[in-house]
Amino acid sequence: MKLLRHGPRGQEKPGVLDARGNVRDLSAVVGDIAGDVLRPQGLARLRALDLNALPLVAGVPQQELRLGPCVGRVGKFICIGLNYADHAAESGMEVPAEPVVFGKWTSAICGPDDDIEIPHDSVKTDWEVELGVVIGQGGRDIAEADALAHVAGYCVINDVSEREYQLERGGTWDKGKGCDTFGPIGPWLVTADEVPDPQALRLWLEVDGRRYQDGSTSTMVFGVAHLVSYLSRFMSLQPGDVIATGTPPGVGLGQKPPVYLRAGQTIRLGIAGLGGQTQHTVAAPVRIPQRLAAHSE
């Protein structure tokens, strides 16, 4: 199945893609693509549905019909850094002995084709196409041999990153990873039964028509099963948690000289079998601090 969320930002409804590429509404069946719906029992219930009997949603998805992030109410947005050896090399860093783990704020999550806002003082906003893993059956201390059974499905993620915030401002990487709109997820959640081998997926990214990233999940340092097991040693994984598994080489930081995003550009990215995303970059609005705004009333 290809599960999705459609409609205006903040008002998304649950849906599913039928065999003809049309969106069918699931609102009468489930409240959202989130939480217990992603457990094995919830997905089994959805698989048993006659999709042709569900209401047809007007509009071509990702054209007239906006798609939101394919998972709702995400509890944790966990990211893995330097998980492709050649990306570590282009970043001037060593291949890690254990997974590099950091967080992306859930307020960064947006739809797969929503605009990416370049922060007003940004000088090094970058791109990263990544395989997203969505947890279905939660757990702690999950054995690696059982780990893939805990995955509800897979999706495309653009781990947008501001490198100056991330690497030059001190502290952890998180501050360069979690700006608003820095987490496009989707277009759909492809359930795990339709992805025979998550370590055999081609992924790519272009900026203004130039191909920068063209890699395969087969070259990950730590595969999906290892990551799920590893993370479950340090935290409870819960239904709807999202794991971004790292990016192949070709990011802006690794170009010679480096290339970074600016307002007015178009990013296209995708993963074989999981769909694609298209984003336009815009200047983030300059917001008046709330305290000053209150004084001005």
164 and 21 in a single domain? The answer is no
Which among 12, 29, 57 is the end of a domain? Answer: 57
Residue 69 falls within a domain, yes or no? no
107 located within any domain: yes
Measured distance CA(185)–CA(158) in Å, rounded = 7
DSSP string, 52-63: GGSPEEPS-BTT
pLDDT for 2: 98
The answer as to whether 62 is a domain residue is: no
CATH number of the domain that 226 lies in?
3.90.850.10
Residue percentage of the chain with pLDDT more than 70: 97
Lowest mean pLDDT of 13-22, 41-50, 82-91, 137-146, name the range.
82-91
When pLDDT is averaged across residues 152-165 and rounded to a whole number, the result is 98
- Within-domain flag for 85: yes
Is there a domain that residue 124 lies in?
A: yes
Q: What is the pLDDT of residue 290?
A: 67
* CA nearest to 111, candidates 271, 4, 258, 210: 4
Phi first, then psi, for residue 164 (nearest 5°) are -65, -45
**pLDDT at residue 297 greater than cutoff 50:** no
Question: Within this chain, do residues 112 and 232 fall inside the same structural domain, yes or no?
Answer: yes
Do residues 47 and 155 share a domain?
Answer: no
Q: Which amino acid is at 175?
A: K
Residues 191 and 48 in one domain: no
- Region 182-189: mean pLDDT is 98
Is residue 52 located within the same domain as residue 171?
A: no
What's the CA gap between 221 and 210, in Å, rounded?
Answer: 26
Residue 235 has pLDDT above 70, yes or no: yes
Of 26, 57, 88, the position where a domain reaches its end is 57
Examine the domain organization and report whether 32 and 85 are in the same domain: no
Check residue 85 and give its pLDDT: 84
Distances (CA, A) of 157 to 124, 133, 147, 277: 19, 9, 21, 9
pLDDT per position as a tens digit, 246-286: 999 999 999 999 999 999 999 999 999 999 999 999 999 88
**Average pLDDT rounded to a whole number, residues 191-208:** 98
Token couple for 52: 């042709």
Domain membership flag for residue 266: yes
Number of domains in the chain: 2
Question: Does residue 160 sit in the same domain as residue 47?
Answer: no
pLDDT at res. 94: 85
**pLDDT confidence tier of residue 294, bands split at 50, 70 and 90:** low
Q: Mean of the pLDDT values across residues 39-56?
A: 98
Cα–Cα distance for residue pair 48/219, rounded to 1 Å:
36
Residues 52 and 88 grouped into a single domain: no
288 in a domain, yes or no?
no
For residues 38 and 92, state if they share a domain. no
Whole-number Cα distances in Å, 82 to 28, 77, 192: 42, 17, 24
Phi, psi values for residue 79, rounded to 5°: -120, 150
Cβ partners under 8 Å of residue 201, min gap 6: 131, 154, 195, 216, 217, 271, 272, 273, 274
Could you list the residue range(s) of the whole structural domain that residue 53 is in?
A: 2-57
> 68-100, pLDDT tens digit by residue?
999 999 999 999 999 998 887 887 878 899 999
Q: Say whether both 18 and 102 belong to one domain.
A: no
Same domain, 261 and 154: yes
Question: Contact 80/222 with Cβ under 8 angstroms?
Answer: yes
Same domain, 105 and 222: yes
Residue 68 located in a structural domain: no
pLDDT the model gives residue 87: 84
| CB-based contact 89:223 (threshold 8 Å) | no
Give residue 291's pLDDT: 66
- pLDDT tens-digit readout, 160-180: 999 999 999 988 889 999 999
The pLDDT of residue 286: 83
Task: For the chain, give the mean pLDDT.
Answer: 95
